[in-house]
Amino acid sequence: MAVACLRLLQCENVLKLRQTPGYMCLFHLKEANFLISCDLSVLCPSGLDAELYYVRNDMVSHYALSFNMPVPTETNSLYFTWYSKSKVDYRLAFFIENPVALSPPSANISSQGEMPRLPSVFRVDMDCSGKLDEEAFLTMQLNLTSHVNYTVLNFKRRKMCYKILFRSVDGVPTPTTSTQVFYISVSVCCIVIFLVAIILAILHLHSVKRVEMEDSVSDSGSSQGLSQPSTQTTQYLRADTPNNAASVTNNHPGSAPILQLAASSFQNPGVPPHETKSYPSLRIEKNDLRSVTLTEAKAKVKDIAISRDRVTLRDVLHEGTFGRIFHGVLLDEKDPTKEKQVFVKTVKDHASEVQVTMMLTESCKLRGLHHRNLLPISHVCIEDGEKPMMLLPFMAWGNLKLFLRQCKLAEANNPQAISQQDLVYMAIQIACGMSYLARREVIHKDLAARNCVIDDNMQVKITDNALARDLFPMDYHCLGDNENRPVRWMALESLLNNDFSSASDVWAFGVALWELMTLGQTPYVDVDPFEMSAYLKDGYRIAQPINCPDELFAVMACCWALDPEERPKFQQLVQCLTEFHAALGAYV
């Protein structure tokens, strides 16, 4: 059988983790043999786009066929466009799991016959009976027979049906006293809820202001060791946009049948106006960090400089070609008997002046910011004749990426070592820290698990990317412009135009969330870095991780919308993930 794929357009309000009306799907066999497509009567109001391949490269995707797609309650008809250039016989059948809730489906074509040679449309009606409140399950079976083979395709749909309380007479509903009482009660409840929401919003704004003034300095424990990178093959997801809706054949290695959920709208009426405005954009010229001299970089941190004698270096936690991170001890300035554990970032003796300058400059990215989920530098040592040292508060479990990979190695012996709820809690903390940066109009530009640290109480903090290129060289690539960049974490506009904004940070957050759910795997591991921009432009994304809930993957997909304005804001992500975390807790 020729190459085949199914394209499915689905509307979903990811913020509330429930669907909104209407979606469209497309199934077609390539190489001009035959094509089948279906189009639901209601299009997505938000332009949400998704794609699901059922058959590809002569292989039937059992995963895709087993996926039960939801149909909005108000959608009653599905429209299919199909044709075949060669003789193909078909047989159409329907199977209903609960016929009481769903009326028998019907089609405006015969149950068997020959596929048309020219594109034509047929309709399948999927109406609720209105007899009871229940979710109905429908399987549409299409048997295709050609002179070469025989193929059976089962398209699964589910639809929530509701009981009709009263019927209309001559098309005009007959209101009753109980109905009027019902609507009055609903109105009163809505008013009460609205007032409560206003009170909660005021309390929340006050709490946010308190949180922004907190200085999160954490002192504790021991360090984590290192682990080797994972080499697991990654699947990819294709996210067509209105400007890129055509089907594209994937010739990249490691690609497989893929589920696609790409959201173009993540609006929440409850978000304050300052959170729904357009993202501030920052155009970064190449090699802008190298324009700063070492003397200028030292002058910027002179006010937090301390004596080298107050710092004692202990174990080496992480080491690269020219950079090192130590577990150190900082003596109190007033009381030498008091000690504070710190991370110490420094360079080796053979480090160049450019490398030292870059470490100093990048270490200042979060300086002066105070939030419980941020870890800025606290002190520096910049004495003449000595290599500079950057000091940060110590976090017992160290680098988040290395911690996740250790958890993956320990999974076989201790599957309960880290739960899905723990991972979502980490994501919430990262989103909180990034929401604070977005409010302060600070753009991180390198958000990833490697640039976060974690404590022994599961507290996660975002840090700067100083020395990250040296300590994680496989995560950065030079695309011929003599600049190492985190290509696999970057938004398309950043790759093509060097444009950075809070929206590009949202894209990177989606990849970081994917890192959490895969316990530190490398995204797009099978894609050539030089092809990343073309790969993303064609609509491909990393696929849903194993054991990752659909709702959580939909959040990731929203972060990867091609249009920066269509990506969610960090405050919306915090709210969405918090609700999802609470839902997970309800099942524990």
Which residues are designated catalytic? Answer: 446
Q: How far apart are CA 348 and CA 493, in angstroms?
A: 35
* Best CA proximity match to 518, nearest among 472, 570, 556: 556
Q: How far apart are CA 421 and CA 401, in angstroms?
A: 18
Q: How far apart are CA 484 and CA 445, in angstroms?
A: 13
Q: How far apart are CA 109 and CA 467, in angstroms?
A: 65
* Best CA proximity match to 23, nearest among 60, 51, 61, 57: 51
* Best CA proximity match to 541, nearest among 503, 572, 582, 513: 513
CB neighbours of residue 358 within 10 Å:
24
Whether 405 contacts 466, CB under 8 Å:
no
Per-residue HEC secondary structure of 494-517 comes to: HHHHCEEEHHHHHHHHHHHHHHHH
Whether 464 contacts 439, CB under 8 Å:
no
Task: Mark 106-141 as b/e (b = at least 16 C-beta within 10 Å).
Answer: eeebeeeeebbeeeeebebebebbeeeebebbbebe
Q: CB-hemisphere CA count at 13 Å for 123?
A: 9
Residue count of the chain: 588
Instruction: Name the token pair of 538.
Output: 């064609």
Task: Give pairs for 242-245: CB < 8 Å, separation 24+.
Answer: 242/47, 242/49, 243/562, 244/537, 244/538, 244/539, 244/562, 245/49
CB neighbours of residue 560 within 10 Å:
23
* Best CA proximity match to 78, nearest among 86, 67, 69, 87: 69
Q: Which residues contact 24 (CB under 8 A, 6 or more apart)?
A: 8, 9, 38, 39, 40, 43, 44
Instruction: Name the token pair of 136.
Output: 């109905």
* C-alpha distance from residue 423 to each of 402, 417, 418, 524, 557 (Å): 14, 11, 8, 21, 18
Whether 22 contacts 42, CB under 8 Å:
yes
Instruction: Name the token pair of 406.
Output: 């250790």
Q: How far apart are CA 437 and CA 369, in angstroms?
A: 8
Instruction: Name the token pair of 152.
Output: 């059976």
Strand 69-71, strand 150-161: pairing: parallel
Q: How far apart are CA 480 and CA 496, in angstroms?
A: 13
The dihedral through the CA atoms of 88, 91, 96, 100 has a sign that is positive
Q: How far apart are CA 26 and CA 172, in angstroms?
A: 37
